Structures are given as C-alpha cells and as structure tokens.
Amino acid sequence: MPELRKDPIVGRWVIIAPDRAKRPANFVEQEADNGDLFDPFLEGNEDATPGEILAYRTPGTKPDSPGWRVRVVPNKFPALLVEGELSKRGEGIYDMMNGIGAHEVIIECPHLETNMSRLSLDNIREVIWVYRDRLVDLKRDPRLVHGLVFKNKGALAGATLEHTHSQLIVTPVVPVSLAEEMNGALEFYNYRGRCIYDDMIQQELASDKRIVLDTPGFVVLCPFASRCPFETWILPKQHSSHFENIQRQGVDELGMVLKSVLMKLEIALDDPPYNFVIHTAPFDTHNLPHYLWHIEIFPRLTRVAGFEWGSGFYINPVEPETAARFLREIEVDPQQSGSPSKPINESRQG
C-alpha cells in the first residue's frame, strides 16, 4: 500500500509508492514477438491494460473491446490505490496516511498517435469531456479532496509510452502548489475584493505583450514570472474555480484553444517534450470567488531543471514577452488533423 507522508516543515505531501519502481524503465513500448513495438493503448489491445473505468464507444460495443474513441483505465503502476481506509496517523512530529486515491490513464485515441495536437477537434473535445466526467465521478468519494489532470508528453517530460495519453491523480490531500495558489489568491481577495486571476487577465489584455491567443471565452498567455522558456497558461474569461463545472460551449472552445496552443508550441519548438497540468479548486469547496481554474503548460527545453528543483529558484533564459510574440505570430488551423504528423516510423527514429 502506498503511503502519503507530510513534510513537517513546509507541509508538502509526498507519495511513497515502492511498487512504482517496478514499471518499465525505458521510454519504449515493449517489443512484441514479431519484433515490432507493442502498443498496449492500441484498439484491439484492450486486454493489455487493466479493465476500463470509462470509455466513449460506439453503441453496441462491449467494454474492453474495440469500438471506443477515448478510454480510461487504471494506471498499471498506480501511485495511489482506490481500495482501503485512509487511516490518518501520526508518529511524533510526522503525519501520514494510507495512499488512498485514484491514478487513472486517459487513452486519448484508439490509433497510434504521439501528439495530442494532431487529434481531430472532436477527439480533443471528447478527451476534455472525459477529464470532466472522471472528476465529477471521483468527487463523490468523501475520502478524496483533489483531482490533478496532467499530461507528460515525451520521455524528457516523464512519459513512458508514446501513444498520446493523459493522467489523473485524485488525492485525499491538496497538493502543495495548489494550496499555495489558493492561499495567495485568497489573500489578494481579502485585501482587494477581486479575483487576482481576473485582474491579471484584464491587465494582460490591456498591455497585450504576453498574450498568445485571445478568444471569446479564453485567454492564452506566457505568464509574467514564467519559470521556463515558453511556459504558457490557458485561462477562462468567465469566472469559475472548478474545471469540472465546464459547460458544452466551454468544452467546444477549450478544445479549439488547446489544440491551437499545442500546435503553436510544436511548430515553435520543434515538437518539444512538455507537461501540462489543470489547476482546479479542491472538491470540498464550491464556486470560490477568489480562484480561477486554468491550464499550465511547461515545454521541457532546458536540459533539466537543475538546482531549481531543490531551491524553488528558477532561472529562465527566455523573456515571456519574446516567447508570447513568437507563439502569437505562428498561424495554425485547428480544423486540420493528423498533420503536421510525420509517419510514425519516421518520428520514432527522430
């Protein structure tokens, strides 16, 4: 059973999950008998994953069989387990609890595609619906308080499989980064009576220099204090603290915006590894006036965060204004799909 442990000094929770050490070490699909790489996320290979939790599929097709468009399965090497008691306990100055939670994989398409940006708009919108549906479902579990939807794209960003997928980790505690955001935003709200994210959006739209994309419902920008080159945030213009409260119009537009931004980043940075994380308020809160859900995207360009990792002190060699201008000027057509895809065999050798 994994364990959640709290650092007694800074309050950061860490998942200690010894079983995760057993997962495949390399960024390659396992080789099948015929020498080809085996893709457990491919339609037809449903028995290579744990049984599905949710799938959007053609009416009449059976679970864990072909006929799906987006499919959710438990992570084969989960950081947290859904069964069991929380058993919160202390040991002197330390706090810990059982590693209860959920760790799911969202397989974004049935065919082998490495880049989310090359999925059709409808496909990306269904992926967003799946994010929402899973959060709404897991929110019902009173043991769980927060859901983290994220994506690791590319080996350098921590992905172990190429087939485009996202992950969901739902925890009985609030991740420290989110807690810090919530605290900072609440402090501002108590002082100014406004949401700091909304203020930021107003100021950014007025100056325009860090804006990447401005649509009726969303603004995309490179944040003022970007931690890494081409850090990019997607923020909704309509105030909402909880991602899972998104409506159809929001999903339709977010699909277009997310696809456009990923296309821009891939053209600008030559198909970079990246992470994105959806920041959303904890399950046990409602319609917070001081917090705004948003998506943070980090291309992994710099060799590796070096000492930054240990110190929280970031050195960013690219001004966000430069990155934003660059991204703004790249024209993309989010209606296109499958392009600028290279054939899979070629991209594997890249």
Task: List the one residue from 162, 300, 324, 334 that touches a second copy (CB under 8 A).
Answer: 300
C-beta of 60 vs 191, nearer to a second copy:
191
Query: Catalytic annotation on 239?
Result: no
Shortest CB 187 distance to a second copy, Å: 9
By CB under 8 A, name the one of 36, 193, 270, 311 that touches a second copy.
Answer: 311
* Minimum gap (Å) between residue 330 Cβ and a second copy: 19
d(CA 80, CA 1): 8
Which of 1, 19, 208, 287 lies at the binding interface for a second copy (CB under 8 A)? 19
124 to 88, 110, 117, 132: CA distances (angstroms): 38, 13, 8, 13
Query: Cis (ω within 30 of 0) for the bond into 340?
Result: yes
Give the shortest CB-319-to-a second copy separation in angstroms: 6
Locate 330 and state its tokens: 């790249």
Residue 316 binding a second copy, by CB under 8 A: yes
| CB nearer a second copy, residue 68 or residue 291 | 291
Q: Do residues 123 and 109 make contact, with C-beta atoms less than 8 angstroms apart?
A: yes
For a second copy, which is the closer residue by CB, 245 or 316? 316
The interface region with a second copy, picked from 48-56, 262-270, 311-319, 324-332 by CB under 8 A, is: 311-319
Examine residue 281 and tell whether it contacts a second copy (CB under 8 A): no
- Name which of residues 182 to 211 contact a second copy (CB under 8 A): 184-185, 188, 196-197, 199-200, 203
Q: Which residues of 180-212 are buried (b: 16+ CB within 10 A; e: fewer)?
A: ebbeebeebbeeeeebbbbebbeebeeeebbbb
Q: Which of 35, 59, 60, 92 binds a second copy (CB under 8 A)?
A: 92
**How far, in Å, CA of 292 to CA of 305, rounded?**
27
By the rule CB under 8 A, 145 interacts with a second copy:
no
Three-class secondary structure of residue 79 per DSSP: coil
Residue 2: which of 97, 75, 141 has the closest Cα? Answer: 97
d(CA 173, CA 145): 6
Give yes or no for a contact between 116 and 149, defined as CB atoms under 8 angstroms apart.
no
Q: Does residue 177 interact with a second copy by CB under 8 A?
A: yes
The one segment of 42-50, 114-122, 131-139, 316-324 that binds a second copy by CB under 8 A = 316-324
Q: Check residue 298 for interaction with a second copy (CB under 8 A).
A: yes
Which residue of the set 103, 146, 163, 165 is catalytic?
165
**Residue of 211, 205, 202, 283 whose CA lies nearest to 239:** 202
Strand partners, 298: 275
Residue 224 interacts with a second copy (CB under 8 A): yes or no: yes
Residues 51-90 that bind a second copy (CB under 8 A): 79
Q: Active-site positions?
A: 165
